[in-house]
Chains A and B, each alone.
Chain A
Amino acid sequence: MSIVFQKPKFLTDAPTHYCPGCSHGIVHRLVAEALEAVGAEGHVVGVAPVGCAVFAYNYFNCDMQEAAHGRAPAVATGIKYTNPDNIVFAYQGDGDLASIGLAEIVHAAARGVNITVIFINNAIYGMTGGQMAPTTLLGQKATTCIYGRDAMLNGNPIKVSEMLATLDGPSYVERVSVADVPNIKKAKKAIEKAFRNQAEGKGFSFVEVLCACPTNWHMTPLQAVEYVKGDMTKIFPLGVFKEV
């Protein structure tokens, strides 16, 4: 009998703590498949964020470091420069990357440090219970903007991929979504490319993934993926923003 489907070897057997309908699990799998595809075994270190993916070090089956909130790109920079032959990746949420850690991601990108960053944009602070994120859409409700985000009161969402693409440092910036199967396939390709770039020494690669947080969006999983495909994709258009 031939095996047609199995768990990627870069995922552990630990059951994840993610909510039903959460996109984190899908992206974990895509990252693990990409690591396998580029032959990262024996030379890979991941960096987990502070956020719902804080326990990612229990799920990725490789050496892992847990970073302080927002500092994953700095931690990854230290790891990469210490052992440059290792594949090094950071996995971060939007509060982590686009708010408290904005300086670290911008400078890692500008430096062009040869790492891969996977950016989970779910437009909300998942772990702390649904507060407004830097990527929360105008009109979207959160526990710190209960009537919906108002530009006058709360400012505007940050479009990280567009911003990073203005820099000379990054070799690759793409935004994808995991809201349905065709998009997951595209996301898989993008993530694999971001790791292949690193393996080939091309420099800083960044993939933003539009993700669902049904729990804090107060939606069913199905409503949540529709929200990603509709409202969210309108504000955060998919596509390649930079490729060198």
Chain B
Amino acid sequence: MAEKKLMKGNEAIAEAAIRGGCRFYAGYPITPQNEIPEYMSWRLNEVGGHFVQAESEIAAINMVYGSAGAGGRAMTSSSSPGISLKQEGISYICGAELPCVIVNMVRSGPGLGGIQPAQCDYFQAVKGGGHGDYRMLVYAPNSVQECVNLMYDAYDKAEKYRLPVMMLGDGMLGQIMEAVELPPMKDPKTFPKKPWATTGEGIGKTRRIINSLYIVPDELEAMNKKLQKVYDEMAANETMVEEYKLDDAEIVLTAYGTVGRIVKSSVDLLREKGIKAGLIRPITVYPFPKDAFKRVGEMPCVKEIVAVELSTGQYIEDVKLYTECRKPVKFYGRSGGNVMSPEDVVDFVLKEVK
């Protein structure tokens, strides 16, 4: 039986990670995600796992590298400035093909920025924030329940493709309290075997090496091709998108994460006013739901698209790219930690679109 609880987004993500098999966490405090390390510090103990308050985000991500390489289900979390520091480690993790989970509860930037919600790390998350040709599976949940659901299976996905999963939230999602259904604890005996992991037994031919160094160009190119194949396979299997009242929509609103939820209310408000509005919301922002957006671009009823985001215009680039610029795309964004209301979006549509 599923267990029902009232939980903050940050705590729910931590609990779902543990139920999904997480037994190692390393992180460094930063608002607005502090509830994750705080929760992990006592909860991991209860389940026989290990928590480390690292000396920096750099150390934290490298502890995750070590743990994941040793076969553990490891996690780190942070918010924007801290995620910037983790980029080197993320690149190495991708190069060494290590499965793990990284949570980014995005706050407004650039620089030290502010502690209020934002979506200004979109490019960093989906286009590869560190060096090299790599990708991650990036989830953008819109509610505490969706955080739990996606987090719960995140390690299974990470291990299937041997890459990091990023949970891309924002300060709002981390702080909001909602009722959630928690799934049961997964049994580690059901986890896939990891013959590649450095569990200590290796000697001679059986030894395992976790590494991202390929000094011979052809070998590195072959490695890059292998990674691209994995990303293609992941795109074919894991892309997720929500469509709402899209069938007869003349105006399509699009947003991801918590903004996707705000905009869903705007769709209803617009419909009440007799305006045929619809929503398309990527649940995975990488892989991007290309096919669904292509369809929107090709729908004869669609007159205009509005990309709504908490940044100065990052997500809109993918919206234009994947609708192949077949429809006009207007931009409505806030930044600095300001969040639009459903009514703000309605006002924008009434003024700028109709």
Contact = CB atoms under 8 A, between A and B. Distances in A.
B209 interface: yes
Interface in B171-205: 198-204
Contacts of A68: 62, 65, 88-89, 92
A67 B96 CA distance: 10
Contacts of B54: 74, 107
A65 B66 contact: yes
A169 to B, nearest CB: 12
A66 B213 contact: yes
Given A74-B54, A81-B50, A66 B207 contact: no
A74 B202 CA distance: 21
A220 to B, nearest CB: 29
A103 B55 contact: yes
A43 B201 contact: yes
B45 interface: no
Contacts of B207: 61-64
A191 interface: no
A78 B65 contact: yes
Contacts of B96: 65-66
B96 to A, nearest CB: 8
A78 B50 CA distance: 9
B63 A74 contact: yes
Contacts of A82: 23-24, 50, 66-67, 70-72, 74
Interface residues of B, number: 41
Interface string A56-76: 010001111111100100111
Given A66-B211, A74-B66, A75-B69, A41 B58 contact: no
Given A61-B203, A66-B209, A77 B63 contact: yes
A87 B70 CA distance: 12
B70 A62 contact: no
Interface string A31-69: 000000000011111010000001001000111111110
Contacts of B228: none
A62 B88 CA distance: 26
A118 interface: no
Contacts of B58: 71, 74, 103-104
A65 B69 CA distance: 7
Contacts of A44: 200
Give chain A's interface residue range (CB within 8 Å of chain B): 35 or more
Contact of B198 (A64, A85, A104): A64
Contacts of A85: 200
Residue picked from B50, B65, B96, B198, most chain A C-beta under 10 Å: B198
B306 to A, nearest CB: 42
A143 interface: no
Interface string B66-99: 1111111010000000000000110010001000
A79 B88 contact: no
Residue picked from B60, B202, B212, most chain A C-beta under 10 Å: B202
A75 B203 contact: no
B62 A75 contact: yes
A63 B201 CA distance: 7
A28 interface: no
B172 to A, nearest CB: 31
B52 A81 contact: yes
A82 B198 CA distance: 11
Residue picked from A43, A76, A78, A83, most chain B C-beta under 10 Å: A78
B334 interface: no
Residue picked from B24, B69, B199, most chain A C-beta under 10 Å: B69
Given A61-B207, A64-B210, A107-B59, A78 B200 contact: no
A15 B210 CA distance: 20
A79 B62 contact: no
Given A78-B24, A82-B70, A65 B198 contact: yes
Interface in A86-143: 86-87, 103-104, 106-107, 111
A45 B59 contact: no
Contacts of A62: 200, 202-203, 207
Contacts of B125: none
Interface in A1-55: 9-10, 12, 41-45, 47, 54
Interface of B: 23-24, 26, 50, 52, 54-56, 58-60, 62-72, 74, 88-89, 92, 96, 198-204, 207-213
6 contacts: A44-B200, A45-B198, A66-B213, A74-B26, A75-B69, A81-B63
The 8 closest A-B pairs by CB, nearest first: A78-B66, A78-B67, A63-B198, A74-B62, A75-B66, A82-B72, A78-B63, A71-B62
Interface of A: 9-10, 12, 41-45, 47, 54, 57, 61-68, 71, 74-83, 85-87, 103-104, 106-107, 111
